[in-house]
Amino acid sequence: MSEGATELLPPHIAADFYLWLWWRSEEQSGRFSLDEGAPVELYLDDRLALRDTGEERPTTLLTGDSPGTTPEARAAVLGGKVPKELRLLIRREDREYRVTLRGERIGIAGAKLPTQVKTGEVAEVLYDRMFVYEELHWIVACLLRQFAAARVAADWRSEQVPHIRDWLASLDDRGSGG
């Protein structure tokens, strides 16, 4: 078995990943296409934590329905804060996941898994839980690969960033302007 990577994502790149997920989920109405075209829906759920750049701990925590659509969230990012953790709702086929991704480890926390087997033989419960966990891990990995390709692309600076900035500003305008 290979050693694999020994370092983590730099914190600012992990923050870019979370922002990219947030932006793309709103721009694409939650529709993503994973490896081999597998469709998945992804939405920001009910929690978004932001931190000041250079800080470890979140300094802004937004909870409730669709915190990503609030003027406060957009204003915080335009003011220089970056996402530290976000709770996602993910749907694939008839399975629905709720999961918090956080930190530079892209750690999985508080994952509600769409298991079929709730009680009974330990083995059956375990296989079912691990099947859906592995699917969740695969979905996150696919999204991370898509983000990485976009982030290193030559047009990140010239194309993607202006789009993100416009998206942030548009909602901020709507939020503050009514």
Partner 1 sequence: MAILKGGLSVRRYRIIGELPEGFTDVFVDALNTNQFREPQSPTHKGEASGWCQVHNLLDVDFSDVNLWLYNQYALFALRVDKKVVPARLLRAHLEKRMQAWCSANNRPRVPAAVKEELREALEQEMLQKTLPRVQTFEVCWHQNDGWLLFTSDSELPNERFQKLFLRTFALRAVPWSPLDELVGTVGLPEALVSLGATDLRGSVR
What residues line the site for partner 1 (CB under 8 A)?
1, 3-10, 12-14, 16-17, 19, 53, 77-80, 104-113, 118, 122-123, 125-127, 129-130, 133, 137, 141, 144-145, 148-149, 151-152, 156-157, 161, 164-165, 168
2 vs 178 by CB, closer to partner 1: 2
- Per-position b or e across 126-155, b if 16+ CB within 10 A of its CB: eebeeebeebbeebbebbbebbeebeeeee
The candidate with the shortest Cα–Cα distance to 44, out of 13, 15, 68, is 68
To the nearest whole angstrom, how small is the minimum distance from the Cβ of residue 11 to partner 1?
Answer: 9
Query: Nearer Cβ to partner 1, position 43 or 167?
Result: 167
Shortest Å, Cβ 170 to partner 1: 13
Of 134 and 178, nearer to partner 1 (C-beta) is 134
Q: How far apart are CA 172 and CA 68, in angstroms?
A: 11
**Least Å from the CB of residue 137 to partner 1:** 7
User: Using CA atoms, how far apart are residues 103 and 83, in angstroms rounded to an integer?
Assistant: 9
Instruction: Give least dist CB 61 to partner 1, A.
Output: 18
Residue 10: is it exposed, middle or buried by C-beta count within 10 angstroms (0-12/13-18/19+)?
exposed
Residue closer to partner 1, measured from CB, 65 or 118: 118
* Closer Cβ to partner 1, 61 or 141, answer by number: 141
**What's the min distance (Å) between Cβ of 5 and partner 1?**
4
Q: Is 26 left (phi over 0), alpha (psi -120 to 50) or beta?
A: alpha
Question: Which tokens is 22 given?
Answer: 């947030």
- Residue in 65, 50, 176 with CA at minimum distance from that of residue 102: 50
